[in-house]
Structure 1
Amino acid sequence: MPDALVYLTSAAALAAAVFAGWHTAKSFRFSNPLFYAIAVVEVLLVVVLVWGIVAVAGTDRDLEKGLYLSYLVTTVLIPPASVLWGIGDKTRWGTGVVAVALFTVSVMLIRTHQIWQGHG
């Protein structure tokens, strides 16, 4: 798994989390720009997932493959779930849930990279 792809995706998720946090702090509801930011993160996460599946299929590393793939799949599922929650919750905390979810995705990506490198 390329370092640059993981760090780029993690940084994008973190930036979107900050943007969602700003929405929460300003008591803004879920907005189109926030949706687009999450969509960009989701596209990057799908690329990471596909890359990860191909990499696992072609490696002989001593790797916890089930753990690694479960992390990748979970990171892809979290943003859409947070979007549904954020759109459904009309209070400021709907975007707060999105911020926490995207921060979680960022951390999980770094953890996935550690597992890939054999540190987990």
Structure 2
Amino acid sequence: MITGFGVAVAVSAALVAVWAFVAAARGREPGRALLVALGVVEVLLVAQLVVGVVLLIGGDRPGSMVTYLAYLVGSLVILPVGAAWALAERSRSSTVILGVACLAIPVMVERIHQIWSAGHG
């Protein structure tokens, strides 16, 4: 995997998480700008999936193919599920849900890189 891109995805998600937690501390519901920021992180995650698949097609292999693909695809699901949950509730706690969902992304990205590195160690 491309380390710099993974770092960019993780940092972006962490920044959006901080934004969500600050908004929650101020008693705000998820606003349009926060949802757009989630969309940007999701686009980065889709790009990460594309890069991962292109590397696989190019012949590179992770330590565990099934686990690698599960994390790649699973990382795409976290933000939409969190956003659906947050939009169904529309309260201060729904903003916290978005923050927690964003915090899960750097963990997923780190695991993707660990699994990838196991095949190239």
TM-score band by shorter chain is: over 0.9
Which AA in structure 1 matches 2:108?
A: M
Structure 1 residue ranges without an equivalent (≥5): none
SS at match of 2:19: helix
Q: Aligned residue pairs: how many?
A: 119
State the partner residue of 2:113.
113
Two-structure CA RMSD over aligned residues (Å): 1.4
Percent identity of paired positions between Structure 1 and Structure 2 = 34
State the partner residue of 2:88.
88
Determine if contact 2:68/2:116 at 8 Å carries over to the other structure.
Answer: yes
- Which aligned runs of 4 or more in structure 1 are off by greater than 6 angstroms? none
State TM-score, norm by structure 2: 0.92
- Evaluate the alpha carbon distance shift between residue 73 and residue 92 of structure 1 in structure 2; reply closer, same or farther with a 3 A threshold: same
Aligned pairs for 1:90-105 within 5 A: 90-105=90-105
Aligned pairs for 1:13-28 within 5 A: 13-28=13-28
For 1:78 and 1:65, the matched residues in 2 are separated by 20
State TM-score, norm by structure 1: 0.92
Structure 2 residue ranges without an equivalent (≥5): none
Determine if contact 2:62/2:68 at 8 Å carries over to the other structure.
Answer: no
